[in-house]
Amino acid sequence: MATKEKQHARFPRFDFEHVLENIPRLDLSKVKDSHPLIENFVMEGCTQVGYGKFGTRKTTIHLLAAFAVSQGVPFLGKKTQRRMVLYLDYENPSGVLKQYCKDLAVNPDDPRFTIWDRAKEYPPLPGDERLDRFIQRCKKATGHSPWIIFDSWTSLLRAGESGDKIGEATRIFRAIRKYCDQGATITIIDHSGKRDGDGPIGTSAKMTQMDTAHKFSVQDDKISMDGRSSRSVIRVENFLKRFAPKNIGTFSIEITAAMDEKDEWHTVSVKPTKDKAVIKQEQEIEGMKHLIRHNPTAGQEELARVAAKDKVVSGRDRARQLLQEGIGKHWKAITNGKSHKQIFHVLKTAKQTN
């Protein structure tokens, strides 16, 4: 009995709230759920970096996305939430911005969309109180915080800074996270590093501090025979690291351009196109269908072996994955005879049925 009383006396008491005095606590009831500002692309109230080499049309795509959000209309078929947008451009000449707006049908005079360039006054940098006041005015006027886009990262550095040091990046991120804490969505346009282009320039700490990252790259670039028009396919690889697995939402965009009668280039169209990963998977599926049709009694392992040998897919594991994921979509699985062997039959398409 004495032993039990001794153990009971040592048991922690439940009057320790004073220990947490003056310690801020996470109150889930007051935290808004995370939602996309642009479906599978931009997360509201978060930070993201969009980076790529020169010529990957980062400004074009972000201007188009920004104006779509300001109007609450789809961006290349992706759903958007309507918000006020402030685009801070530190680099492009005013004449270039004018041409962007004309080609993309972007109206910088719209009350919900503003481009602040350096023509009249240099745009504010992260930490400037004017941005805090702008966020508060947006919340009061619309009930929502804005989307602020910084174009680009190198212009946010102080004189003499290279961007390679963690402290230089940390200063900027601390400032923009304060905006996110007020509900604002913050995007920084950046350039790829010199070595492999797989990450933005400067310290790798930028990638760890960003909530999402988006790599822009040219997948196809062709000029017409007369040299007066071009077609480029830009791939945007998504890394919604705090919200979804890597490459979820990755998409491709076809951009066409042409010269006018004054021999000046203009963007003619920007539209979604099939991503190379989608095209590759479609080719793999067609290859697996061909194998299934010509091997009607083959099971999964036999099909996987043949698919890898004939280089229909990259290996047996990929073949097994496709076979299982394609059940009910592209083929059906049937248990064959007493051996309970699973074989596959290709499903007929609607066209074949008719």
User: How far is residue 13's CA from residue 258's CA, in Å, rounded to a whole number?
Assistant: 76
| Amino acid at site 18 | H
Least confident of 8-22, 118-132, 274-288, 328-342: 8-22
Strand (E) or helix (H) holding 317: helix 316-325
- Of the ranges 16-20, 197-201, 276-280, 334-338, which is most confident? 276-280
Strand (E) or helix (H) holding 50: strand 47-52
Cross-sheet strand order for the sheet of 47-52: 113-116, 85-89, 147-151, 185-191, 47-52, 212-223, 229-239, 251-259, 265-273
62-112 per-position pLDDT tens digit: 999 999 999 999 999 999 999 999 999 999 999 999 999 999 999 999 999
Q: Phi and psi for 17 in degrees, rounded to 5? A: -60, -30
Instruction: Please state the pTM of the whole predicted model.
Output: 0.80
Closest C-alpha among 150, 158, 193, 138 to residue 48: 150
Helices (H), 152-212: 166-181, 205-209
Q: Which residue has the tokens 């890394």?
A: 239
Per-residue pLDDT band for 352 (boundaries 50, 70, 90) equals low
User: How far is residue 269's CA from residue 113's CA, in Å, rounded to a whole number?
Assistant: 21
126-137 per-position pLDDT tens digit: 999 999 999 999
Q: Which residue has the higher pLDDT, 31 or 148?
A: 148
> What is residue 252's predicted lDDT score, i.e. its pLDDT?
95
> What is residue 72's predicted lDDT score, i.e. its pLDDT?
97
Least confident of 160-169, 243-252, 281-290, 336-345: 336-345
> What is residue 10's predicted lDDT score, i.e. its pLDDT?
60
Mean residue pLDDT across the chain: 89
Strand (E) or helix (H) holding 147: strand 147-151
Strand (E) or helix (H) holding 251: strand 251-259
175-216 per-position pLDDT tens digit: 999 999 999 999 999 998 765 567 888 877 788 889 999 999
> What is residue 163's predicted lDDT score, i.e. its pLDDT?
80
User: How far is residue 252's CA from residue 61's CA, in Å, rounded to a whole number?
Assistant: 11
> What is residue 209's predicted lDDT score, i.e. its pLDDT?
86
CA atoms within 13 A on the CB side of 142: 20
Helix (H, G, I), strand (E, B) or coil at 264: coil
214-264 per-position pLDDT tens digit: 999 999 999 999 999 999 999 999 998 888 877 788 999 999 999 999 999
